[in-house]
Amino acid sequence: MEAAVQKQVSPGSQRDPEIIALRTQLASQGHTKHLLAKTDMMTMHIHCYAPKGGENGLHAHVKEDHVFVCLQGEAVFRGIGGALPALMKHQAVFIPKGCQYSFSNETEEPCILLRFGASPDGYGSERIDPQGKPIAGRAHQKNAIAPVMIEGAFFE
């Protein structure tokens, strides 16, 4: 009979599971991003992209793999080779670190995406353009559109 190997855990280092509400206010313009959970290796955000909105031009995350899950609406993702089929409700797209991509919401309705990111430092925000030059995130670019919320309208 093999002996059981027990991992010693110091008090206070254990965490309990958490239930997270997937709720966000809808936007008629711009984009919203809310952090739902974070560990030292991953993040989970909920995003609302207004109609005819989307992510900045082609870019890659240097240290972060991520997954977008479509909860409402649709998004068109593009890579170096062009557009993928529209990402629809209950579908996901996997984007490994270094993969150049952009996306947009081409519809007349808000698009809700759940975004999981995993990196060695917990938040791989460093971005590069297709030529390998560092670029700012969408919200920090000079042409960023401020979000306009739809009063009383929520994804939940």
Note the pLDDT tens digit of each residue in 23-73. 999 999 999 999 999 988 999 999 999 999 877 689 999 999 999 999 999
Q: What residue ranges in 4-147 does DSSP mark as E strands?
A: 24-29, 31-38, 42-49, 60-61, 65-72, 74-79, 82-83, 87-88, 92-95, 102-104, 111-118, 127-128, 134-135
The answer to whether residue 120 scores a pLDDT higher than 80 is yes
CATH code of the domain occupying 24-155: 2.60.120.10
> What is the Cα–Cα distance from 121 to 92, expressed in whole angstroms?
24
For the chain, give every domain's residue range.
24-155
pTM for this entry: 0.86
**pLDDT at 4 (0 to 100):** 44
Q: Please name the residue that has the structure tokens 């759940």.
A: 114
The answer to whether residue 6 scores a pLDDT higher than 50 is no
DSSP code for 21:
-
Q: What is the dihedral angle through the alpha carbons of 52, 54, 57, 58, rounded to the nearest 10 degrees?
A: -120
Note the pLDDT tens digit of each residue in 89-107. 999 999 999 999 999 999 9
